[in-house]
Amino acid sequence: MNRLAITLGILSLLVLYGCIEGQKSLPGHTAVQTETDFPEFLVGVWESNEFGWGFKFAPDGTISKLIHTVGVPIDVREGQYYSENPDYQGMGLFILGPCDVNYDLQSKYLKVSVILEYFRIEIMGDYLEGWSKDYFEGFISEKDLIWDVQWLSYSMLEGGTPPDVNSIDEHPVMLKFKKVESPTWHEH
C-alpha cells in the first residue's frame, strides 16, 4: 500500500507540474476558431446517445466540463486530474491535454478534439493505464439542437497493441449529441 501511495504522490506532483506548464503554453486549454462570437444555441450541455460522452460549452466557446469514457465514466474538468469513484470501487489519475473546439458559422459544422495524455484507472486492486485521442465532428442543427457526429477514437493501453489508425479512420463511429436542460451527469 505504501508503494502505491508513494507512486501516486510522485505522479500527482508530475501531473501538477505538467498542468501548470501546459497551461502556460495552452492558455485556457481550449480554442475556438469562429468568424464571430460562439453562438448562444451551442452554450450548455450536450450529451451523446451512446458511450456516455458529454460536453458543456461555455459562452466563450471553451469546454468548461466534459464527461470522458475510458473504461469507466469519469468527470474531467480543466485542472482536475484525480478522481475517486465509489460506484466503481476505484480511483483514477487523468492528465487532460488540449481540448479544441472549432465551429464554422457558415456551414454549422462543429469539431471537437479531446486529448487525454495519460490515464491510470485502479479498480479493486488492478489497474489500466494508457492514453486516448478523440475527435468529434459533424453538422449541428440549431433548430432541433442535435449534433450528428463522426467519432474517431485512438487509444492505447500500456502493454497493448497500438491502435490501427487506418481501420479507425475508415470506420468512424456515428453518434448523436443532443442539447439537454437536465444533464444525466452530476453538475456542480
Q: What's the confidence (pLDDT) of residue 167? A: 94
- Name 9's Cβ contacts closer than 8 Å, sequence gap at least 6: none
pLDDT at 105 over 70: yes
Q: What's the confidence (pLDDT) of residue 143? A: 96
Q: What's the confidence (pLDDT) of residue 6? A: 37
Q: What is the C-alpha to C-alpha distance for residues 184 and 170, in angstroms, rounded to an integer?
A: 31
* C-alpha cell read off for 127: 489497474
Name residue, grid cell 470522458. 68
- In the structure, what pLDDT confidence band is assigned to residue 74 with cuts at 50, 70 and 90? low
pLDDT at 17 over 70: no
Domain-wise residue ranges, the chain: 2-180
Higher per-residue pLDDT: 25 or 179: 179
Q: Nearest-CA neighbor of 64 among 49, 79, 47, 85?
A: 79
Higher per-residue pLDDT: 86 or 23: 86
Higher per-residue pLDDT: 71 or 113: 113
Q: What's the confidence (pLDDT) of residue 137? A: 97
Q: What's the confidence (pLDDT) of residue 19? A: 35
DSSP letters, 56-112, are: EE-TTS-EEEEEEEESEEEEE-TT--EEEEGGGTEEEEEEEEEEEEEEETTTTEEEE
- Name 11's Cβ contacts closer than 8 Å, sequence gap at least 6: 93, 120
Q: What's the confidence (pLDDT) of residue 37? A: 73
When pLDDT is averaged across residues 144-155 and rounded to a whole number, the result is: 96
Q: Nearest-CA neighbor of 177 among 24, 63, 32?
A: 63
Instruction: State what percent of residues in the chain have pLDDT above 90.
Output: 39
* C-alpha cell read off for 150: 463522426
Cα distances (angstroms) measured from residue 24 to each of 6, 27, 68, 115: 27, 6, 24, 17
pTM of the predicted protein model = 0.74
pLDDT tens readout for residues 115-145: 888 888 887 788 889 999 999 999 999 999 9
**Per-range mean pLDDT, top range of 72-76, 169-173, 182-186:** 169-173
